[in-house]
A and B are shown apart, each in its own frame.
Chain A
Amino acid sequence: DSGVTQTPKHLITATGQRVTLRCSPRSGDLSVYWYQQSLDQGLQFLIQYYNGEERAKGNILERFSAQQFPDLHSELNLSSLELGDSALYFCASSVLAGGFVDEQFFGPGTRLTVL
């Protein structure tokens, strides 16, 4: 158990819909990262938040958005869903940011299926 929690574990929805994935980082971690992993693919970095502020952006579609709340939990919003958005979405957390690369602790992931 990494200490990072993600809900829901599974999500099945239809094209065109909007969903929200939730992540709670490890206690004390200020950085939250979101990744997308398609079938047998690597981890595509989407976005990072540090202490409530967006810190880095990766290959995140305009239909996707995220935020980190004052209690440090984060939500990833996916809208106008397409079949190709079906994937595993991981959240990870780490203690520090700002130029120092520390290990990331991954949550169990949310498996999104778009029908």
Chain B
Amino acid sequence: GQQVMQIPQYQHVQEGEDFTTYCNSSTTLSNIQWYKQRPGGHPVFLIQLVKSGEVKKQKRLTFQFGEAKKNSSLHITATQTTDVGTYFCAGPGETSGSRLTFGEGTQLTVNP
């Protein structure tokens, strides 16, 4: 079945350093979503990418969707302690367009 993989699983950075998490799907995706889950919290929607090669920015966060629509990345510039959490990518399921298959997530810790 469809697999959505994320690397790295964990990332520790010093405050001010950049951070990138990568997401790869075993199948072509019609779109991809990113979510953030703070420690002890619930996942919160960040963004959805739809077009091949699409790049979207939200302040210090840059999201990219690959040309083949099988991979995506999230880059955070100059991390802050408020960026701590787990970042998940998610793509539509193969058999049901409205369900999501989530990656395992990248857990980011930021040392002040």
Contacts and interface: CB of A to CB of B under 8 A. Distances in A.
Interface residues of B, number: 25
Nearest to A92: B43
B95 interface: yes
B100 A45 contact: yes
B96 A42 contact: no
Interface centre among A33, A43, A105 (most CB of B within 10 A): A43
A101 B42 contact: no
A2 B44 contact: yes
A-side interface mostly:
loop
A96 B98 contact: yes
Contacts, number: 73
Interface stretch (A64-72, A78-86, A106-114): A106-114
Nearest to B33: A103
A46 B10 CA distance: 25
Given A42-B88, A101-B97, A106 B44 contact: yes
B101 interface: yes
A99 B97 contact: yes
Interface of A: 2, 31, 33, 35, 40-43, 45, 48, 50, 55-56, 58, 90, 92, 94, 96-109
5 contacts: A33-B100, A45-B99, A50-B98, A104-B45, A108-B41
Interface of B: 30-31, 33, 41-45, 48, 88, 90, 92-93, 95-105, 107
Given A41-B104, A96-B98, A100-B98, 14 more contacts: A31-B98, A43-B88, A45-B100, A45-B101, A48-B96, A58-B93, A90-B43, A94-B98, A98-B98, A101-B30, A103-B33, A103-B45, A105-B45, A107-B42
